[in-house]
Structure 1
Amino acid sequence: MKIELAQQKPWKKIAAISLFIALIGYATFAVSSKASKTVDIANLSFQTVSNGPLDIYSGAYGEFASARERLLTAPALGKVAEILVRPGTKVTPGTIILHLTNPKLEQEVSQAQGQLAQQQAQLEAFKYEQQSERLNYQGRIADIEAEIEKAQLELSVNENLMNLGVSSKIELQRAKLAVKQETKRLKFEKQKYQQFIEMQGYQLTQRDITIVQQASQVALLEKQLADMQVKAGITGSLQTLEVELGQSVQLGESLAKVGSDKELIARLRLPQHQADQIDINAPVIIDTQKGKIAAHITRIESVVSNGSVLAEAVIDGELTSNARPSLAISAQVFVMHNDKATFINQAPGLRPRSKQALFVRTSSNLLEQRSVTFGELSQNKLVVTEGLTEGEEIVSSDTSKYNQFSQLSLNN
């Protein structure tokens, strides 16, 4: 059997080869078009990478709080009879916030004052009685002294008569005995008088102590009664009011809270990853939208809440006009000083603590896409940790539409 092979037509082969070449050319053009593109340099913004000393600050947010706060409590049982000030009102130490009433307390004050007056009157009467007793003692002593003088006179007469041989010896002895007896009576009476004076002193001291105690009781009750007019106690503003008109309150129950307006502290929430690098007394720059205020860290808590750590800062500089308790603020907290930091100015789209693709200008007037790692943002300076060196220029304008290109040619 004779087998004949069909001969392939040459035009089909040529067409297949041409199609293959065309596909290769298109693929080459597509790849080259993604690898490079020409852009107008006038439409781009550049900035140069710097290297040098840089203070690293951590961003924080928070609010002002009163440095001085005073909790107002009920001085005694009572009922809220009048409310004179509402929260948010400016107050001074003598401003009356509310008035409490307690008729029983008023009666106790009156009774205590009456008892004090009675004890003071009894003390004065006792002093007059004791003065009369002292006079009686002094009178008896004077009588005895007169008897002694009389006995001494008789003794002297008898001695003279004895010398003349007129008086008898027994009369002389009787005169001597009289002088001796009256002298002993005088000594005894003076001892009794001295003991009476000492006893009177103790009695007066005891009565004075009783009066002082009663006076203290009166002062305490009077203060409780006066405190029923609840005063602010400090200069600032009324922050909270926890009672209503007509409400009965117990001794020590919380009524209101007053906080200072001019004496403020800043309560800041520090990022958890930087809180352990911040020291006590670290400088702080607070921004209130109406100016910046200097401060320093005084306390850092150890508890982490929602990725942040609470800290307190004391104000060092002058407050801005809008500073008040609970005002939301932002702050920059000093972390450390870096002598050789690589950094650029912050620009839209550049994010701290991230890795991003940026276009870097080369010596051959091309833009080369490069992966750059950023660190912390400190006072509008973005730290570069990897991918850039000092003196290089990066495109700081938006180039997101060119991200598919690895290179860009610059058209001057």
Structure 2
Amino acid sequence: MKIELAPNRNLKKIFALSAFVLLLGYAGYAVSSKANKAIPLSQLSFEQVKQSDLDIYTNAYGEFASAKERLLTAPAQGKVAEILIRPGTKVTEDTVILQLVNPRLEQEVNAAKGELAQQLAQLEAFKYEQQNDRLNYQGRIADIEAEIERAQLELSVNEDLLTLGVSSKIELKRAKLSVKQETKKLDFEKKKFAQFTEMQSFQLTQRNITIEQQQAQVALLEQQLDDMKVRAGISGSLQELDIELGQSVQLGQSLAKVGSDKELIARIRLPQNQADQIDINAPVIIDTQKGYVKAHISRIESVVTNGTVLAEAVLDEALTSNARPALSISAQVFVKHQQAATHIQQVPGLRPRSKQAVFIRNKQNELVQRQVTFGDLSNDQLLIQAGLNTGEEIVSSDISNYLAYQTLTVVE
């Protein structure tokens, strides 16, 4: 006899229902465990949210630079004959950096000196000629004065003779006329002599001007020749050397650059989003890794480069021992004074200008996860834009492994 067994459909349904119930229970347990988990108090540290007036500073980076820089150029055409020092060497004003040579310039100096010597000799000869001409004039004046004395003597004799009745009136008149004519002649010669002396003075002045021009030309050429010994001009260090030994250079060509190493400024790169909030003379605190130096902003450029704006700061205090041109520095630059600012002490893991999930301790001694928007970081104080209230405490210790839970129960 053949027996057929019908499938037990009810049994399959029971198995399926049981599996569903078990799965639902496990899911509920998992959700419950993620929603609330215990954490020991000994693993936690907290930072309290505060509210106070706060000076807002922004972080910036940059380097020291020479406050005084001098570009050295070729004083004349020449060839580099000698290089005495290399970049990085300390220099004073009179330190010779390199030597240029120019034989043609030396010839020009000698020729100008020869011309000057010739003009000086001609000047002395001219002075003797002028003196001789003046003596000639003075001789003629002396002759006229002698004629006047003779005429006056003759007049006096004729007057005496006329009194005695010996001389005639015509002779007396002739004597008076002679005195008058010689007197006019003397006045005329004296005027001519005065004009002649004045003319000689102008001629001498003209000669002196020519000699002064030649002396200036000689001094200029000698200075150019002396400048072929290229000197630093300021105290500091040689920063750049743009030529090589034996190289020919032209007038005005760049040779080297010298910068001060005691008088420095700070070149700071400000964040673009805060540069327009920073004023000239804003206080700056510079960190040189060996101490802090106070300064103030003196100049802000308008060009944005790679998200930053270049600014310069003048130092208000003495430099630290490691300060030198091109030394990398960090700085805190004053942005503004904010009243009633909400902030907390900066702790690892919290990023300025970000929105992050943090745990807040509530009155039930539970840690509740919340989204918080942070603002700028100023002197280790992190501004809070939204998500936290004054007096609340956030977990400052690292519990990033618990971010999957919305609530944590604190246990002793």
Which band: TM-score by shorter chain?
A: over 0.9
- Match in the other structure for 1:225: 225
Matches of 1:18 and 1:76 in 2, distance apart? 103
Matches of 2:153 and 2:180 in 1, distance apart? 13
- Does the C-alpha gap of structure 1 residues 201 and 10 become closer, same or farther in structure 2, counting only changes over 3 Å? closer
Tell me the CA shift for residue 191 of structure 1.
1.5
Q: Secondary structure at the match of 1:214?
A: helix
Residue 211 in 1 paired to residue 211 in 2? yes
Q: Secondary structure at the match of 1:29?
A: helix
The amino acid of 1:26's aligned partner reads Y
Identical pairs, percent = 71
- Does the C-alpha gap of structure 1 residues 107 and 393 become closer, same or farther in structure 2, counting only changes over 3 Å? same
Q: Secondary structure at the match of 2:320?
A: coil
Give the alignment of 1:10-21 within 5 angstroms: 18-21=18-21
Matches of 1:95 and 1:355 in 2, distance apart? 59
- Match in the other structure for 2:368: 368
- Does the C-alpha gap of structure 1 residues 14 and 181 become closer, same or farther in structure 2, counting only changes over 3 Å? closer
The amino acid of 2:328's aligned partner reads A
The amino acid of 2:301's aligned partner reads E
State which drifts further: 363-372 or 12-21. 12-21
- Match in the other structure for 1:108: 108
- Match in the other structure for 2:387: 387
Instruction: Give the alignment's TM-score, normalised by structure 2.
Output: 0.96
Tell me the CA shift for residue 393 of structure 1.
0.8
Q: Secondary structure at the match of 1:173?
A: helix
The amino acid of 1:190's aligned partner reads K
Matches of 1:13 and 1:80 in 2, distance apart? 103
What is the alpha-carbon root mean square deviation over aligned residues?
Answer: 1.5
Matches of 2:96 and 2:317 in 1, distance apart? 32
- Does the C-alpha gap of structure 1 residues 164 and 363 become closer, same or farther in structure 2, counting only changes over 3 Å? same
Aligned length: 407
Residue 317 in 1 paired to residue 317 in 2? yes
The amino acid of 2:216's aligned partner reads S
Tell me the CA shift for residue 163 of structure 1.
1.3
- Match in the other structure for 2:118: 118
Tell me the CA shift for residue 21 of structure 1.
3.5
- Match in the other structure for 1:161: 161
Q: Secondary structure at the match of 1:200?
A: helix
Tell me the CA shift for residue 33 of structure 1.
0.5
Q: Secondary structure at the match of 2:127?
A: helix
Instruction: Give the alignment's TM-score, normalised by structure 1.
Output: 0.96
- Match in the other structure for 1:296: 296
1:322-350 deviations in whole A, cap 9, x for unaligned? Answer: 11111111111110011111111111111
Residue 91 in 1 paired to residue 103 in 2? no
Matches of 1:145 and 1:7 in 2, distance apart? 173
Give the alignment of 1:116-195 within 5 angstroms: 116-195=116-195
Matches of 1:313 and 1:201 in 2, distance apart? 60
The amino acid of 1:268's aligned partner reads I
- Match in the other structure for 2:3: none
Matches of 2:376 and 2:135 in 1, distance apart? 95
The amino acid of 1:37's aligned partner reads K
- Does the C-alpha gap of structure 1 residues 7 and 187 become closer, same or farther in structure 2, counting only changes over 3 Å? closer
Matches of 1:171 and 1:7 in 2, distance apart? 191
Tell me the CA shift for residue 22 of structure 1.
2.8
State which drifts further: 138-147 or 378-387. 138-147
Tell me the CA shift for residue 181 of structure 1.
1.8
Q: Secondary structure at the match of 1:370?
A: strand
The amino acid of 1:344's aligned partner reads I
Tell me the CA shift for residue 17 of structure 1.
5.0
Tell me the CA shift for residue 291 of structure 1.
0.9
Q: Secondary structure at the match of 1:133?
A: helix
Matches of 2:166 and 2:282 in 1, distance apart? 115
Tell me the CA shift for residue 164 of structure 1.
1.3
The amino acid of 2:189's aligned partner reads E
Q: Secondary structure at the match of 1:274?
A: helix
Matches of 2:10 and 2:387 in 1, distance apart? 57
Matches of 2:43 and 2:117 in 1, distance apart? 96
- Does the C-alpha gap of structure 1 residues 86 and 9 become closer, same or farther in structure 2, counting only changes over 3 Å? closer
Give the alignment of 1:187-336 within 5 angstroms: 187-336=187-336
Matches of 2:209 and 2:9 in 1, distance apart? 139
The amino acid of 2:372's aligned partner reads V
State which drifts further: 72-81 or 118-127. 118-127
Q: Secondary structure at the match of 2:265?
A: strand
Matches of 1:20 and 1:234 in 2, distance apart? 89
The amino acid of 1:341's aligned partner reads A
Q: Secondary structure at the match of 2:409?
A: strand
Over 6 Å off, 4+ runs: 6-13
Matches of 2:7 and 2:135 in 1, distance apart? 167
